[in-house]
Structure formats: structure tokens, C-alpha cells
């Protein structure tokens, strides 16, 4: 760590370490010219450049590796003059040539921790002879060389301490001293000469890892009322008067590296600023430290699927081990679904638009849930499920499973064409009724053994099921009737430039069209006439809900809106700027008023207005986004993160007055139950005061 005084003529470049573990300290002019350099035997911990061409150095007195844990960190503080190598004056030797100069301090052996006042007249540290007790040393002239040297003389012992000290911190007015210990903090008052112990909760402990440093992520508030400490990603606030833990916050997603306190002026609010390894900076108002916090529930593992029911204001979030229900208005978790009391492993889930029923494939079972009663209405053993698809006006669910056995596969359970593929995999599609879970029909299909199972698509208005099958070592599209499961016909994929299909997309309001997406382009196929309807280069499958516009969103950067019928670009939202190759997530809101764009490299979510292409929002995400979906009314965006958290953002466009009014009334509807509870408490208190 390097500190530079206000009036300096040079700076220090630290630190060159050779193979022999010796450290070289170099001094440079501001113009970059080397002034002098000097080798030290042990590792340098901290350097401060002082007035008068002097340097204050704190270094070790023994060889210790950065990750090596020692019982006691033995240090030494020393002061040096900075002079040119051409001069005959030695840095550590004070003779007649520099009799007019005086070292600000003297050499002193210490251990564990060290802190000095701003005027360099007092030092608080631990000395080897007095174990872990904190002592105060006073800066005095040398008894013999009083004109050129000063020494650190023992003044008093502050208090007796037996705990190992990691760091010492002074308040801004230097009236309080904080000692960082293993289980918490000890705070000493120079006014009352009393100390308080602030203990960290539970199993939380202070651990100094990595290279030795004299600083710590802790500070005093401006009024010295609170002590704020950061341990990993959490912030703890202690009341100094009693040593009690007042509040704790955990909104950083990585270790906190820096903490600073500031005040808006005399009588103003106290603010604390924290910056963490998650690339975010947060500001905390300590005036609200004693207010009750609202806990935000989140899943234990990363979000895999999110479903929304706007009618019931419900969010269903799925991770690998949890399936939870959240209320959109309040953000509270209102339930958890599981057919096994000991927990389940979830593969995939679906939720009806009306929010009455949901289905999941979990731990070898296919389960249909009654959302109102929060319990299963049907449980059917079914393994290797990779897709659940609602169809026929959400009255049936198609569950697709894989069977890795050689079998003779017919196109349907009814009389249909027979495809023999001894080296292939079998896909079994079973349609279940909602909510009883009765089997309506089954469809058998085959695929290549080396390929991953490809999801089935349903054309608009539930006209056809479209399967990707293998026939004579070639992939084809097989069409089935969603109501009965009967085979319709096959569509050969023999168009020019054919590549393996990675995704099939439903074309809105076009019951005979299906989108086939590969690594280079998008093909719109007419499955009734068995011919290519349209070819769209670089299309990734994003469409507006009315089917009029699509999105170009290449991984190398850029975002464009094009007309779906002609492929002509009508609006450029993001120019083609080289930003590296990163995955992107982009889609239209259901109302087609806005476009959502998430960039995995920048971890930002941007919102664009489709009418004129204007960007109305740009938000930095705290961690990687796994899922994002907009509500059916297009007013809110639900985002699921890698750490299991879920956030709901209101899309407020000042161009649209209705969204502004919606925002004004949002808070009133957000916590109606809590507001009524507060009103009741207020009424009771008023009645008690009236009685008195």
C-alpha cells in the first residue's frame, strides 16, 4: 500500500521481488526519471511519502509467504531520506551535510497492527515485550541527536488484551480506536477510557487471508455512533455505546473490498459507501439502521425456469432442487411445491396462463399441481423427461421422454408409417389431461443416437405438432394432430444450405408455418405445402407477438428490428460494434412496445422503445442472468439470476403516460396487508392515549 503526501516531488514504484525474495524500492520523479533505488531484505507492507523528501516504511522482520499463517506478524516501522545515488549522503546516516533535515520518526519494532494519528505524533501498536496489549507511543526528539532524529517513546498502555489483533483503526476525530480481533471488534474511547466488545453473529469470523495489510474493511460513522464492518459480502452495523449489533446487510454478490463513510454536512444523514468484487458500489443510510428489514427469499441454486401468470399475479420459479411460488406485487414467497416431502430434483416445469395448475417432471415422476391447494392432483411415474408442452387451449400437457434402446418405431400409436432405426434413440411423447392426469394418447418417434433430443414445437392455433425425426439417415419433419395424436405427413428437409436444426419457433397467427433455426440462418417452412416460405440470414428466432417483426441479435454485437415478411431492417437499436463474442438474450415484450436486450459479457439489461428505437433503460445486473421474461401486460420484467435471486422491474416509459400512472399506484397496491396491520396498530395506540 502506497500513500503520498499533499506536497510531493516524486513517487514510489513498488515492488520488485527477486528470486532470493529480496525487495527493491525505487523512487521516480513525476517526469518518470529514476531518482534512486534501495534493496530491503524482507517484504514491504506499507509505504507513505511524507513532506521533506522522507518515506515511512512498514515491513516484515522475517521471511513469511503471503498464504503462510504465523502466530505473530513481526513488523518494523522506519523512516528514510530520499536522495540521489550520485550524492555521497547515505539515506540512513545523518551527518553534517543534512544537519538541517530531521527525520520525522525513528525505527521501532512492533507486531500485528499499527495506526498513527494524522500529525504523526502518536502511534498505537503492540510491542513484543507486552504481548497483545495495545500501547500508545509518543513521537519525541532523540535524547542525543535531537536536531536530526526523533524516536517513538512509550507513553501508556490503553487496556489489557489477550486476543490476537489483525488491524487497528482510528476514527476521523481520533477519539475512538478499533481493534479487529478474531470474533469481532474491540472499541476503545479516549474520552471515558473504557472499551466495548462488538461480537460478530453466529459462526462469522474475521480472517486475514493473503498478503499482510494494516488496513481492514471497517470504519466509524461520522458522528461516532456506529461502527460499520464488512466481512466477506456482508455489512454489520454496531452501536458503539452498548456494543450491540444493530443491523446486517447482505446485498453484495462478492467480497467487499472498500468501505468509506461520508456525511452531507452538520446535522445531515450519515452515509456509508461500499464497493465489492462484484463490480457494484452501494450507498447505505445509517439513519435507517434500526428500521426493520424485509427479508427477500431466494432459491438455493441458480434459476433454470421462470413462469408468470398475470391473471393471478403469480411467479413460479424452478431451480434444480426447488419449485417456488412468488407474489408479483409484494415479492414474497407464498408457497413451495414438491411431491416428495424429502425434496425433489426438477427437470422441467410449466404453468397455465390462468395460474390454476402447474406441471413438473421431478425425481422420476410427472406431477400435476393444483396451485390453489398447493398439492399434487396427479402423480405418474415417468423418467427422462426433457420437455413439457401445454397445448389444446392448455387442457392437455405433452410430456416428452427418451429411451436409449434399439426398437422398431412407428410414427404413431395408430396405424402409421414404420421407421426402423436400430442405432437410434426413441422419443416417447405422452399427452395427459389436466388436472386428472389421464393418458390421452402416445406418440413414438426416433432420433440419432449421438444427438441431443430436440424439443417439439406446436404451430399457431394448435394445428400441428412438429417433430424432428430420422429417416434413412436424414432428418425430416414429422407432423401429428395435437388433439388425437394421429400421424399427418412428413416434410423432407432438402432445401439448399441445410444444416442441423437447433431450434424450432412458432410463427404467430400462421398455423401452417414453422421457424427452423440453425447456426447460420433461419428458415420459415410451410409444413402444409412442404416448401420453404422464407429464408432469413442471422435470424435467431425472436419474433413479435403479432408476427410482423423479428430481431437480428448476433453474438458479435448489434441489435436490429426487421420486417418479417421481407427481411428488411426497419430500425437499428445497437450498432455493429466489436464487443467480443458473447451470448445475448433478447425478445419483444408481449405488447410489442419494448425490446429487452441482455448482454452476457457486460451483464447489462437494456430496454428499447420499438416505436422510435430510443433506449429508455440500461441496468447493470449483480450477477449472471439465467432467465428473463416479461408479464403479459408488458409492464414488468422478471429476471432470474445465477445465485437463485429473482427481481421484478417495472418498465416505465415516460413517453407513455399510462406507465407513469401505473408506477404511482404500484406502491399503494404493493403491501396492502402490511398497511392495514400498521393502521390497526396506530388506531390502537391512539385509543390508548385517549383513554389515558
More confident site: 106 or 683 = 106
Asked whether 429 and 442 are in contact (CB, 8 A), the reply is: yes
3 state DSSP class of 570:
strand
Where is average pLDDT lowest: 138-147, 386-395, 481-490? 138-147
Grid cell locating 594: 419494448
β-bridge mates for residue 225, sequence order? none
Q: How would you classify residue 125: left for phi > 0, otherwise alpha for psi between -120 and 50, otherwise beta?
A: beta
**What is the rounded average pLDDT of the residues 24-35?**
61
97-119 confidence digits (pLDDT tens): 444 578 888 888 898 899 999 98
More confident site: 504 or 662 = 504
**What is the rounded average pLDDT of the residues 213-231?**
88
Residue 580 pLDDT more than 90? Answer: no
Residue 486 pLDDT more than 60? Answer: yes
Distances (CA, A) of 313 to 148, 333, 630, 658: 77, 12, 12, 19
More confident site: 104 or 363 = 363
The pTM score is 0.65
**What is the rounded average pLDDT of the residues 41-54?**
81
More confident site: 22 or 312 = 312
Question: Inter-axis angle of helices 672-691 and 657-670, to 10 degrees?
Answer: 50
Locus of grid cell 404511482: 664
More confident site: 662 or 327 = 327
First to last CA, the chain: 63
Locus of grid cell 407513469: 660
Side-chain half-sphere CA neighbours of 605 within 13 A: 25
pLDDT classification of 669: cutoffs 50, 70, 90 = low
pLDDT at residue 561, rounded to an integer: 95
pLDDT classification of 96: cutoffs 50, 70, 90 = very low
Amino acid at each position: 500500500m502506497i500513500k503520498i503526501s499533499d506536497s510531493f516531488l516524486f513517487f514510489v514504484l513498488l515492488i520488485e521481488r527477486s528470486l532470493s525474495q529480496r525487495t527493491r524500492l525505487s523512487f521516480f520523479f513525476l517526469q518518470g526519471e529514476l531518482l534512486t533505488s534501495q534493496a530491503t531484505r524482507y517484504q514491504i507492507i506499507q509505504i507513505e511519502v511524507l513532506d521533506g523528501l522522507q518515506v515511512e516504511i512498514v515491513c516484515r522482520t522475517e521471511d513469511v509467504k503471503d498464504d503462510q499463517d504465523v502466530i505473530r506478524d513481526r513488523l518494523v516501522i522506519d523512516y528514510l531520506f530520499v536522495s540521489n545515488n550520485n550524492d555521497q549522503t547515505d539515506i540512513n546516516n545523518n551527518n553534517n551535510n543534512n544537519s538541517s533535515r530531521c527525520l520525522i520518526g525513528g525505527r521501532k519494532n512492533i507486531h500485528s497492527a499499527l495506526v498513527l494519528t494524522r500529525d504523526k505524533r502518536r502511534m498505537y501498536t503492540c510491542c513484543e515485550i507486552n504481548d497483545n496489549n495495545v500501547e500508545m507511543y509518543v513521537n519525541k526528539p532523540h535524547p542525543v541527536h535531537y536536531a536530526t532524529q526523533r524516536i517513538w517513546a512509550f507513553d501508556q498502555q490503553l487496556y489489557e488484551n489477550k486476543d490476537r489483533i489483525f488491524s487497528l483503526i482510528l476514527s476521523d476525530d481520533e477519539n475512538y480506536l478499533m481493534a479487529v480481533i478474531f470474533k469481532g471488534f474491540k472499541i476503545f474511547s479516549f474520552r471515558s477510557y473504557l472499551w466495548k466488545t462488538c461480537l460478530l453473529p453466529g459462526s462469522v469470523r474475521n480472517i486475514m487471508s493473503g498478503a499482510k495489510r494494516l488496513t481492514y474493511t471497517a470504519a466509524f460513522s461520522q458522528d461516532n455512533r456506529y461502527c460499520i464492518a464488512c466481512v466477506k459480502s456482508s455489512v454489520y452495523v454496531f452501536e458503539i455505546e452498548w456494543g450491540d449489533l444493530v443491523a446486517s446487510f447482505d446485498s453484495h454478490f462478492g467480497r467487499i473490498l472498500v468501505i468509506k463513510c461520508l456525511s452531507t454536512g452538520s446535522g445531515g444523514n450519515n452515509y456509508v459507501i461500499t464497493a465489492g468484487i462484484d463490480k457494484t458500489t452501494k450507498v447505505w443510510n445509517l439513519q435507517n439502521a434500526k428500521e426493520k428489514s424485509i427479508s427477500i427469499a431466494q432459491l438455493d441454486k441458480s434459476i433454470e425456469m421462470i413462469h408468470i401468470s398475470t391473471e393471478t399475479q403469480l411467479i413460479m420459479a424452478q431451480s434444480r432442487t426447488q419449485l417456488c411460488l412468488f407474489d408479483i406485487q409484494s415479492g414474497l414467497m407464498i408457497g413451495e411445491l414438491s411431491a416428495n416431502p424429502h425434496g425433489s430434483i426438477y427437470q422441467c416445469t410449466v404453468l397455465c396462463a390462468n395460474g390454476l395448475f402447474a406441471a413438473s417432471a421431478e425425481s422420476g415422476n410427472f406431477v400435476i399441481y393444483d396451485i390453489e391447494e398447493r398439492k399434487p392432483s396427479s402423480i405418474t411415474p415417468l423418467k427422462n423427461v426433457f420437455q413439457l408442452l401445454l397445448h389444446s387451449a392448455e387442457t392437455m400437457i405433452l410430456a416428452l421422454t427418451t429411451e436409449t434402446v434399439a426398437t422398431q418405431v412407428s410414427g404413431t400409436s395408430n396405424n402409421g408409417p414404420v421407421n426402423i432405426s436400430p442405432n437410434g434413440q426413441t422419443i416417447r411423447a405422452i399427452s395427459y389431461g389436466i388436472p386428472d392426469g389421464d393418458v390421452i394418447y402416445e406418440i413414438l418417434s426416433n432420433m440419432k443416437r449421438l444427438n441431443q433430443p430436440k424439443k417439439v414445437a406446436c404451430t399457431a392455433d394448435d394445428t400441428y405438432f412438429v417433430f424432428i425425426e430420422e429417416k434413412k439417415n436424414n432428418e425430416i419433419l414429422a407432423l401429428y394432430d395435437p388433439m388425437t395424436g394421429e400421424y399427418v405427413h412428413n416434410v423432407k428437409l432438402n432445401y439448399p444450405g441445410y444444416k442441423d436444426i437447433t431450434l424450432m419457433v412458432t410463427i404467430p397467427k400462421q398455423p401452417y408455418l414453422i421457424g427452423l433455426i440453425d447456426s447460420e440462418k433461419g428458415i420459415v417452412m410451410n409444413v402444409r405445402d412442404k416448401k420453404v416460405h422464407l429464408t432469413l440470414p442471422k435470424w435467431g428466432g425472436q419474433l413479435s407477438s403479432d408476427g410482423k417483426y423479428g430481431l437480428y441479435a448476433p453474438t458479435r454485437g448489434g441489435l436490429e428490428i426487421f420486417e418479417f415478411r421481407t427481411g428488411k431492417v426497419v430500425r437499428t437499436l445497437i450498432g455493429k460494434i466489436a464487443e467480443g463474442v458473447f451470448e445475448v438474450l433478447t425478445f419483444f415484450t408481449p405488447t410489442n412496445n419494448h425490446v429487452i436486450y441482455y448482454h452476457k459479457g457486460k451483464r447489462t439489461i437494456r430496454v428499447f422503445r420499438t416505436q422510435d428505437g430510443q433506449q429508455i433503460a440500461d441496468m447493470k445486473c449483480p450477477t449472471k442472468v439465467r432467465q428473463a421474461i416479461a408479464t403479459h401486460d408488458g409492464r414488468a420484467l422478471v429476471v432470474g439470476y445465477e445465485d437463485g435471486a429473482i427481481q421484478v422491474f417495472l418498465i416505465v416509459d415516460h413517453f407513455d403516460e399510462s406507465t407513469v400512472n401505473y408506477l404511482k399506484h404500484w406502491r399503494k397496491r404493493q403491501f396492502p396487508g402490511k398497511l392495514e396491520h400498521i393502521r390497526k396498530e396506530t388506531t390502537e395506540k391512539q385509543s390508548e392515549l385517549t383513554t389515558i
